[in-house]
Structure formats: C-alpha cells, structure tokens
Amino acid sequence: MKTGQLRSAAIPICQQVCGLSRKERVSHRLSDLRREKIVFGGRSFRWIADSVLREDEYILSISAGSIGPEREPLRKEEIEAPLIPAGRLLPFLVVTALFFLWAIPNNLNDILIRQFMKSFNINRSSAAGVQIWFYLGYFLLAIPAGQLMRRFGYKTGIVTGLVLLGSGCWMFYPAAQAGLYGFFLMAQFVIASGLSFLETASNPFIAQLGPSGSSERRLNFSQAFNPLGSITAGLIGTVFIFSGIKLTDAEVLAKQAAGTYPAYLHMELLRVVAPYLVLGAVAFIWAVMVMLTRFPVLGGEHDAHHPDVKTASVKLLQPHFVFAVLAQFLYVGAQVGTWSYFIPYVESATGVGDKAAGYMLTGTLAAFAVGRFSSAWLMRHFSARMMLTAYAVVNVVLGLVAVTRANWLGACCLLTTSLFMSIMFPTIFALGLKGMGEKTKTAGSLLVMAILGGALLTKVMGILADARGLQTAYLVPVVCFAGVGLYAWLVAERRVAG
C-alpha cells in the first residue's frame, strides 16, 4: 500500500478511535507523519495514530490496545463492536463489582484513624500507622501480583486478592479482642496486599475483555463504580463505626475514677469489627463466584510466551515518565493526607461531633465522584494537561484558605479540594505512559508503586500536626498540589527527539 493511500486509510480510523468528528480532524497536518517505512498492521497502526494525533490533547485514557505491542491492525468491525461482546457479560459484571468493593476498605481508613485515636488514646502521628502499613502492602505486593498473573492468568490473581482481602478483614475480630493496635496494623497490611492483586488484575482484564476500539469506554464504565464505593465507605463508617459520643474532660476523669474508662474505650474499639466481618464475608463469597465464572483467555495474559513479537526499544527513564512517578507520589500523598485528617480538622475548626464530620467526609467523597464524571465531558473541550494544571492551582488556593482560616470556610474549602483531585491520578498515569512502548508494563507498575506517597506524606502530616497543629500540617498537601501543577505545566508532555 502506498504512503498516500495509507494516510487516507489511517485518518478516519484514528477519528473513530478517538470519538471525534471529521470536522474536528479536517485541519490536522498530515505532514507530521514520520518518514519511516510503514506496514499497515501490528504496532504500525499505533505509530500512525500517534503521529496523526500527536498535536492533539483530547485523549486522557490510554487503552491496553494502544500502548503496548499489538499483533493485528485495528479493524473497523472492532471499533463499532458493542461495549460488552456476546458471551462475556457475566465476567464483566463480576469483575466490575470489584471496583466498587475495593473502594470501601480504601476509604474506611479515614474513619479508622479517627476511631483509633479515640479507642487507643493515641496521637495523630501514631494513628498515621493505619495508612503506612496499608500502602506498604500495596507497594510490596504490586510486582509479585503482576508476576503471578503473568504466569497463571487474571482469574488466579483476582481470587488471590479476594482471599487476602477477606482474611485481613476477619483479622479485625481477634485484633479487637486482644486490644492490640499492632494487630490491626497487620490486618491492614493483609487487606492492602489483597487490594494490590485486585487492582493489578481488574484494570487490564476489563480493558482487554473486548475489542480494543471500545476498551476505554469499557474501563471508564467500570471505574465509575469506584467513587460510589468511596461514598458507601463514608456512610458505613459514620453510621456503624462512629458512636457520636464525645466525652468532655470532666466525664473522662469521672470514668477513670470509677474504673469504667477502659471498658468505654474497648466498646468504642469493638464498633469497627462488624463492618469488617461483613466486608470479609462478601470478599470470600465473591471469590467463590469468580472461581465459578468462566473467564475468557485474553491475549495479554500470555505475552511472555510469544518471544517472536518484536517491539521498538525505548528507554524506561524518560524525563516525562520519571517526573510522572514523582507527581503521582505527591498526588497520592496529598489525597490520602487530606482525607485522613479531614474529620479531626472539621471537628476542631467547626466544633461539630464525629458523626457530623463523618457526613462531611461523605460529602467530600461525593465531590470526588462528581469531579470524576464531569471531567470526562470537560476533556472533550479542554486539554487534559491544562486541566491538570488548572485543577492543581485551584487546590493550592483552597488548601491555603484551609490553612489560614480554620473555620467553616476552611472546612468547606477542604471539602471542595476533592472535586479537583478527581482527575489527577488517571491523568498523571496516562501522560506518564505515553510513548513507553515495550516498557509500558514496567512503567505502569512503577506508577502504581508511587502510591507509597500516601503512607510517607501522611506520616509527615501527623508529625507536623502534633508539633505545630493541624492547620500547619495541611501545608503538606498544598506543596504537593503545587508540585503536581509544575509537573503538568513544564514536563508532562513527552518530547520526541528529532
């Protein structure tokens, strides 16, 4: 096929993949096509799409079929295929439910921090251990999870993750009976290890479950259930874990004098058990459902068995990727830190009780969900990189108001930051993976491991809160958002040599 014919064939296909009209594409300069030998097939289509569209920034999501090595061209019948192929509805539903499920333990951590501060009578720095051990499990198990699934497939990885999740949840009962904070931290590590398996497996499975032309829509649909799980976690914690009892100093002294204060703290501790026992039971039941569900064999599961596939060699430590890992580290630290100390901040700034503050935490999670859904529409009209820059700047301003105005205004500004945090993780992830070629899987693992920032920076916030006050501690997320904004403005775009 001649180059001119190839260009004519590539343009309409690229338009359909990106979901843009012909009118929006008619002005693209075809002269940007690189002067290389082209074969219409395999990874060459990915090269054509990247060359034709590289000046455009409408695309946020990067599907499994558009980054890594491909063996077949993207056919028109694949692009126009339904969201869920015939015969694959059941595995799609079973795995999509996991996006909702793993959001619950993730967001119950913010509830646990406040409850453990009360029931174990510990300071904020010590309570940060909840996040440290949680994200340490994520960090250490990400690569082993990928290796297990590379060898045995997605189903094995999902079942392993659900078993670990259920086991960690059920460890809350003996931990509460023993009354040991360290036992709870061990349970948190086991839970996070399971979630690391689930997240590593579910995203690529959903993306590869059908034609690559609909992979982005399919994955975005499944991810939409994640913030709903976050809202559910906030409601569960507020209704079933928080008692709403806030003792005055005089009441504490009276209970201590009567010898009933330890019993009161133990009763507060037991309130965390029931929700986790139920969550563990759901995880085990879902593991059985996954085992009984017939999963299709997906090509991405067995790439290691096809050494004959040739891919272009690329460097792993490209500047745009290295800074994406740093930006992801900063973002996750900002998000986790903001949510972890949100309830104590609201209580101290407004004087409301833990239940009212818990409902406000649910509100900030709802704002996160609104931002997630609305950004998909906004990115049809604005560059993802520029939106990331603008959202980061807005959060810097909101964070500074929360630091300088510890009242209802500061609390509302802190609540609103979640609206603008919503696009940061997927946008940084997508921008970081651009042009990584054969290093895509390794790069993706490193971006996932960057969530360690959620543990380390939350600990820094706890130390600052104990030393200088909670208002000062919220300067940490402000600095993190500034770092994300600088990344988006200066280095987020991949620069092609030559």
The answer to whether 198 and 165 are in contact (CB under 8 A) is yes
What percent of the chain stands above pLDDT 90?
34
User: What distance lies between CA 396 and its chain's CA centroid?
Assistant: 21
Token couple for 319: 């500047």
Q: What is the mean pLDDT of the chain?
A: 77
106 within 8 A of 195, measured Cβ to Cβ: yes
The answer as to CATH 1.20.1250.20 being correct for domain 312-357+364-498 is yes
Nearest of 442, 425, 204 to residue 318 by alpha carbon:
442
To the nearest 10°, report the CA torsion of 375, 101, 451, 274. Answer: 130
Say if residue 164's pLDDT is above 80: yes
All residues at 6 or more sequence positions from 496 whose CB lies less than 8 Å from its CB, including other chains: 54, 435
Separation of alpha carbons 412 and 408, rounded Å = 6
Rounded to whole angstroms, the Cα distance separating 269 from 52 reads 59
CB 146 within 8 A of CB 200: yes
Write out pLDDT tens, residues 279-321.
999 999 999 999 999 988 765 444 444 445 455 566 777 788 8
Say how many C-beta atoms besides its own lie within 10 A of residue 113's C-beta.
Answer: 25
- The full 3-state SS of 115-167, as one line of letters, equals HHHHHCCCCHHHHCHHHHHHHHHHHHHHHHHHHHHHHHCHHHHHHHHHHHHHH
- 379-419 pLDDT, tens digit per residue, is 777 877 888 999 999 999 999 999 999 899 999 999 999 99
Q: Count CB atoms within 10 A of the CB of residue 439.
A: 21
Average pLDDT over residues 259-278: 93
- The two tokens of residue 121 are 């009578």
pLDDT at residue 80, as a whole number = 55
The pLDDT value given to residue 451: 83
Beta carbons of 246 and 357 less than 8 angstroms apart:
no
DSSP 496: P
Residue-range domain boundaries for the chain: 3-79, 87-301, 312-357+364-498
pLDDT category of residue 56 using cuts at 50, 70 and 90: very low
Q: What does the pLDDT look like over 421-442, one tens digit per residue?
A: 988 887 787 777 676 666 656 6
**What CATH topology corresponds to 87-301?**
Growth Hormone; Chain: A; (1.20.1250)
Fold equal for 87-301 and 312-357+364-498: yes
First to last CA, the chain: 26
